[in-house]
A and B are shown apart, each in its own frame.
Chain A
């Protein structure tokens, strides 16, 4: 029997599966029944992952662009070109854009390559903003830069708050756990501006005015204070900084909350009461490109701290990563100012440890994130190394033109190749051992299931070849040795090894150290004898208001099948067909409006309208749906090219991702 266990590498849920590989083909995929998180379930993406793994649309040879055309090159030739180009440049002109899809070992080595070999700290992940904000809040608040709860404890939570996340589409199996908890008696409260599936499955759905999420959370916190629902024992014994937070809430008036969120104070009171009375509670929000901003996360964190719902069994403030190894990317230090394990470049002891281990003198001036540099200082970057890019940078196409040299390293062909001057293939994830860290800090080993095709190198080996060409002495026998180095240098991964991971079914959650050799399921305040610090909040609640000229508030979101711009999904059959089903109906994208709005505008389904904002305009088809409120409108992310064009010159808006709210007017054409 050749059913081999593995990990689904689409989203950050980290579901377990089995794969049957015969020869070069992945014959089939099946869910892993005893996996601690997925327990026998997969979503539409996971069930069809073999279609992606079997695609012929892969990069099979190194390619170098000559006179505008790609020509096949040898690895020697391509690596020499890359190294010579980078070596000729000052480190500040070199950037590395890491991929949240790479294995931990690959991310770690890329980080090492950037810092130790090419001396640049300009290394970042392609969907940086959102998740970094989560980690900042959580690490300042608890000392742990990751989800404080655990996905396998969702079933133990009595109260579940879903804040602005289309979770059953983004991370379906997390959504499923939430739904199953509710079926077993827990309460779900969803706060969102659009009626998502999880909103329909909730006991209470607060359909707020677009852009008012932070205020809604603050509103609940205010009700907790006013109605004496604070967990005073917990606040006294285990937290710091409550007074400041509580004082910041006094400035908020009930009138302001209701006026700006569109929700009555009574409803907030009910939620506050249910949250406080539940013995256990968890909050969920998306992180990554569709993530919330740091201030909103701070309010959610504080709400859960004041009700005593952090650091206990069945509790947690849980950012949910959209892409499989986004958490791992930060754990491995793929950020301008971080080493692995969230150790700061300004931490002298940490830097010294790396210097000794690597025999180098690290540059300790933090770099900048690649997307920020491209947006704000185009022209500074002369060379860019990009790994597996399947989203985001399209909006920076103009800035990319200004980069003299772009090397693209990836498994699958995609449009990004057009921007590259050279391309290096990397093996598929089933062709080499590697670990991935899912959203609940769960490090899982994915074992090699077949040989790479066409002698393509796995990522770690490729990076090692590049490092060696540049004069470094790297001598890893395989990914297991890379993990050994990671564990020596990363306190949160200190006791992890391939041996341990191979003998544990369902992964090990970090911190995995001397004190917790089997890993740590959740933050445990009592056991750690630690305390929680309330997050600093802004107290500012500017909610974009609709006005006379722009009477509707537009939100931007993504639907399931347009997941991550869909470059991977496009290489499958079934998920691609699902994508096409909507795309064929609305090839140019659509704007979803409420039935009342449609009546007022006198438009029908699939009619074209002009959406005009202060920043620009776009033509879209109408889709009438009761899922949005009157005065709100929704445009799915897959129309991103159209949205991007309409927002040209306003990257700050686009950056807000799903949280962006733009006042618009809609004109019949």
Chain B
């Protein structure tokens, strides 16, 4: 454990920038919106920025990514094929705990199964992760219900906590420790850790009422969904409200579904793109030949919640598929983000009032 003066915190990012491409929370000045982006200069990074509007998923899993390009002039001409991805060392500086957990979910999906996804692996390799404890939660957050915050517990190289005049720095890896030693950071005392713990406990009390009320409810709803006790009518009620925009999947740090398309770039050349996809789309589950196991929108909608909140799925992620970032709540035109759906299942809401 180390300490660094608050004003000096970006020195760490600066040190990282010699070896890594640095990404961090940046506030877009016109709108005040936070993005987690690659920075040209570490001074762009703002550690007190609110939770980024989009998770850092795009760094390892871009919205539209050319993974291959090929050329075939026809006849006996050879096919030229060029895989198109490369490893660049990256430092994610100031990641929120939920987003780190999301990244770990993606790791399990892309790397932890029978097939290892080479594109993901090359983007994910050589990464230095610096997390930032949320001493104040944001409006939509409910990581306290999903065991993913407000402070990161593992998986980081360094974890930062704003404890007043200083940041407390915890090293979670040899790499992290080495950097602190190299920068000759001051050692922290037990009281600094106690202060961090106090701040985290306080942060937990500051969550919106949904999170404080629903802490147990997320796991209870997982039980209901897994055992088939979530009513059909509730799914219909939820499905009716889905606008099929795909946003919930796109902003979700743990959503990993993709589409692969080949698109002509010239007469004989083609790019292969991997793009984000969403289970809310009808075409997503349509099979060749026309059969669609999930044609009605309510079936597609409950798919998402099965994926996030059923035991069979959570075995894949070794935790709930939802990391409580609240983004799907923010972006959903149908007002059926995770917290509301949990609420509807819990209250068995199935209809609205007539005039």
Contact = CB atoms under 8 A, between A and B. Distances in A.
B333 A175 contact: yes
Given A32-B33, A41-B245, A173-B333, A56 B38 contact: no
A3 B355 contact: no
A208 to B, nearest CB: 16
Given A201-B240, A270-B355, A578-B282, A33 B37 contact: no
Interface of A: 1-3, 5, 16, 18, 27-35, 40-44, 46-48, 50-51, 54-56, 168, 172-173, 175-176, 179-180, 182-183, 187, 189, 197, 200-201, 203-204, 270-271, 274, 505, 560, 573-574, 577-578, 580-582, 584-585
Nearest to A506: B31
B26 interface: yes
B83 interface: no
Interface in B325-351: 330-335
B279 to A, nearest CB: 13
12 contacts: A3-B28, A5-B30, A31-B331, A41-B332, A172-B245, A197-B243, A200-B240, A201-B241, A574-B277, A578-B282, A581-B286, A582-B282
A271 B258 CA distance: 46
B75 interface: no
A584 B335 CA distance: 31
B35 A1 contact: yes
Contact of A28 (B64, B245, B334, B355): B64
Nearest to B32: A34
B355 A203 contact: yes
A574 B246 contact: yes
Contacts of A43: 243, 245, 333
Contacts of A204: 354-355
Contacts of B266: 56
B51 to A, nearest CB: 11
A183 B33 CA distance: 26
A203 B353 contact: yes
B246 A44 contact: yes
Interface in B69-90: none
A179 B241 contact: yes
Contacts of B241: 179, 201
A567 to B, nearest CB: 17
Interface of B: 26, 28, 30-33, 35, 37-40, 44, 53-54, 58, 62-64, 240-241, 243-247, 250, 259, 261, 263-266, 273, 275, 277, 281-283, 286, 290, 292, 330-335, 352-355
B63 A27 contact: yes
A580 B283 contact: yes
B253 to A, nearest CB: 14
A573 B263 contact: yes
Contacts, number: 146
B273 A573 contact: yes
A273 to B, nearest CB: 8
The 10 nearest A-B residue pairs measured at CB:
A176-B333, A577-B283, A28-B63, A581-B283, A1-B37, A204-B355, A1-B26, A573-B261, A200-B240, A581-B282
B53 A578 contact: no
Nearest to A2: B37
A183 B339 CA distance: 14
Contact of B264 (A32, A56, A270, A582): A56
A5 B355 CA distance: 41
A578 B64 contact: no
A577 B335 contact: no
Nearest to B33: A33
Nearest to B242: A197
Nearest to B330: A40
Contact of A44 (B28, B35, B245, B259): B245
A18 B281 contact: no
Nearest to A204: B355
A140 B235 CA distance: 47
A423 B204 CA distance: 63
B47 to A, nearest CB: 15
Nearest to B264: A56
A526 to B, nearest CB: 29
B35 A3 contact: yes
B101 to A, nearest CB: 21
A170 to B, nearest CB: 12
Nearest to B261: A573
Contacts of A29: 63
A44 B354 contact: no
B9 to A, nearest CB: 19
Given A179-B334, A187-B355, A32 B58 contact: no
A165 to B, nearest CB: 15
Given A27-B64, A173-B333, A271-B355, A197 B240 contact: yes
Contacts of A31: 53, 247, 331
B250 A34 contact: no
B335 A180 contact: yes
A271 B354 CA distance: 11
A182 B241 CA distance: 12
Nearest to A26: B64
A274 B35 CA distance: 44
Given A18-B33, A44-B245, A578 B281 contact: yes
Most interface-central of B26, B250, B283 (chain A CB within 10 A): B283
Nearest to A504: B30
Contacts of A176: 243, 333-335
A445 to B, nearest CB: 11
B223 to A, nearest CB: 27
B247 A50 contact: no
Contacts of B35: 1, 3, 18, 30
A179 B335 contact: yes
A175 B62 CA distance: 29
Given A32-B31, A33-B330, A44 B63 contact: no
A233 to B, nearest CB: 25
